[in-house]
Amino acid sequence: MEKRKARRKIKELKAASDAESTVSTRSSNSSNSSTSWKQKQRRLKAQRTSHDSGNDNLKHHHKEDTNAQFKSLEGRLGAILETTEAQVVMILLIALDIGCTAVGIHLHNQQQLNTRSTPADASTEVVTSLLVRVITRLVESFTGFTLFLFLIELAVLLAAFRHKFFAHAGYVLDLTVVSVSLAVELYAQTKVARLLGILRVWRVLRLVRRIVDQERAAHDTTRQLLEQEQLKLLHVRMQKDAAHESLKREYESRAGLEQLLRSYKDEIVTLKEALQIAAQAVAAATMNESPPFEYSEAGDAENSFELHLEQWQEDHQEARSENAFEDAVDE
């Protein structure tokens, strides 16, 4: 009985330990699953934030690119409007606008005078009034086009130069004249204010100054090129003079060497003649004093002496000519 009770207790203890182990494993599994789920949520959040930040960066870069392209386009348009050709076109349009405005005002006044005066011929008056109306409409259309073009030009310049636009007195004057002309034409229904465009004559002065500056720059460039060519010509002349001097020195040294060789030859000839005279004198003296056998020995000695003397003279001449040539080359 006691053994059975002990076995039952052991089984109960095993069952309790198994239950506890299963509970602990379940709790550990649940905790692991909860931590893994939290980690997955964190990863998803990190991916979402990185994706959102990447989208924001892409949007920011896209905005920067569009702004840079817009600024570059504005800068190009501003540079085009600042060219000499564009300025000439704008000056011509300003002059035509002022002229057409003056013609339109004159036609309007003439039309009012014709309506007040009594007509002499009805058909002529109708044709004249019709022609005046057509010309007036054409002038008004052209002046409206020029005004719209002036507004576009000022808007492009303002977008290109921004705050620098208001630092330029001429552009501020243009903006004032065009704004006043537009306001007066809209509210007062008159184009007299368009004659203020004559104040924009500063563009002519700027164009003249720019052309003068361009001509000066071209003149300076041409002068620099001319100075460079003159320096090159002077260098070539100096090289020519140096070559001429060296050639002259070569000729002089060659003439000196030739003269020296002639003097050496003359000395050699003189020495030969003196030796021949001395040999003849010695031979004559020996012939008178010695027998024929001794005379033959004396003749052989004389011949050998002459040969040695000629060889010595030739060696001495060659050495002197070489020394003279080296001295001339060194000079």
Can you spell out the DSSP letters for 200-251? GGHHHHHHHHHHHHHHHHHHHHHHHHHHHHHHHHHHHHHHHHHHHHHHHHHH
Please, are residues 177 and 199 in contact by the beta-carbon 8 Å criterion?
A: yes
The whole-number pLDDT of residue 191 equals 78
The whole-number pLDDT of residue 319 equals 62
CA 251 from chain center: how many Å? Answer: 51
The whole-number pLDDT of residue 226 equals 94
The model's pTM: 0.51
The whole-number pLDDT of residue 65 equals 55
For residue 94, which of 4, 217, 212, 195 has the smallest C-alpha distance? 195
Residues of the chain with pLDDT under 50: 23, 292-298, 329
The whole-number pLDDT of residue 232 equals 93
Enter the tokens of residue 47: 């991916």
The whole-number pLDDT of residue 46 equals 67
The whole-number pLDDT of residue 235 equals 92
The whole-number pLDDT of residue 295 equals 42
Task: Give, for 331, the enclosing helix (H) or strand (E).
Answer: none
The whole-number pLDDT of residue 269 equals 83
Q: Please give the sequence-ordered ranges of beta strands (E in DSSP) within 91-188, or none if there are none.
A: none
Q: Helix 84-116 to helix 122-161 angle, to the nearest 10 degrees?
A: 150
The whole-number pLDDT of residue 6 equals 58
The whole-number pLDDT of residue 106 equals 84
> Helix, strand or coil for residue 47?
helix
Task: Give, for 304, the enclosing helix (H) or strand (E).
Answer: helix 292-330
The whole-number pLDDT of residue 113 equals 74
The whole-number pLDDT of residue 311 equals 67
Q: How far apart are CA 313 and CA 298, in angstroms?
A: 22
What distance, in Å, lies between the first and last C-alpha atoms of the chain?
A: 145
Q: Helix 84-116 to helix 2-81 angle, to the nearest 10 degrees?
A: 60
